[in-house]
Amino acid sequence: MPIIKSSKKSVKTDRAQTVANNVYTKTVKNAIKNTEKAVAAKDVEQAKANLATTIKAIDKACSKGLIKKNTCARQKSRLNKKVKEMAE
């Protein structure tokens, strides 16, 4: 346990920030799973709708620094490719 007052405060803020970050990462993971489920079910309209929300969630997590820039680009590219191939 920290003894210094500022260290005690940083422990509290770190916990709060960790919870907030976990919300964003879970949102991204769930969005990706939903898009891939729609692709597996061959539901074109649902897949396109999910893709839009997934890309938005990925970009938001990337801007907050939770996911690296190249990881975001790779995930978006792979999902977009899957949806396009399924739509054909």
How much is the pLDDT for 87? Answer: 84
Span 1-24, pLDDT tens digits? 899 999 999 999 999 999 999 999
The CATH number covering residue 46 comes to 1.20.58.110
pTM, full prediction: 0.87
Please state the rounded mean pLDDT for residues 16-44: 96
C-alpha pair distances (Å), 65 with each of 18, 32, 47, 49, 53: 13, 18, 26, 25, 19
The number of folded domains in the chain is: 1
Q: Which residues contact 46 (CB under 8 A, 6 or more apart)?
A: 38
Domain that residue 39 falls in: 5-87
Instruction: Copy the structure tokens of residue 31.
Output: 């969005």
Asked if residues 54 and 61 have their Cβ atoms less than 8 Å apart, the reply is no
Q: Mean of the per-residue pLDDT values for the chain?
A: 96
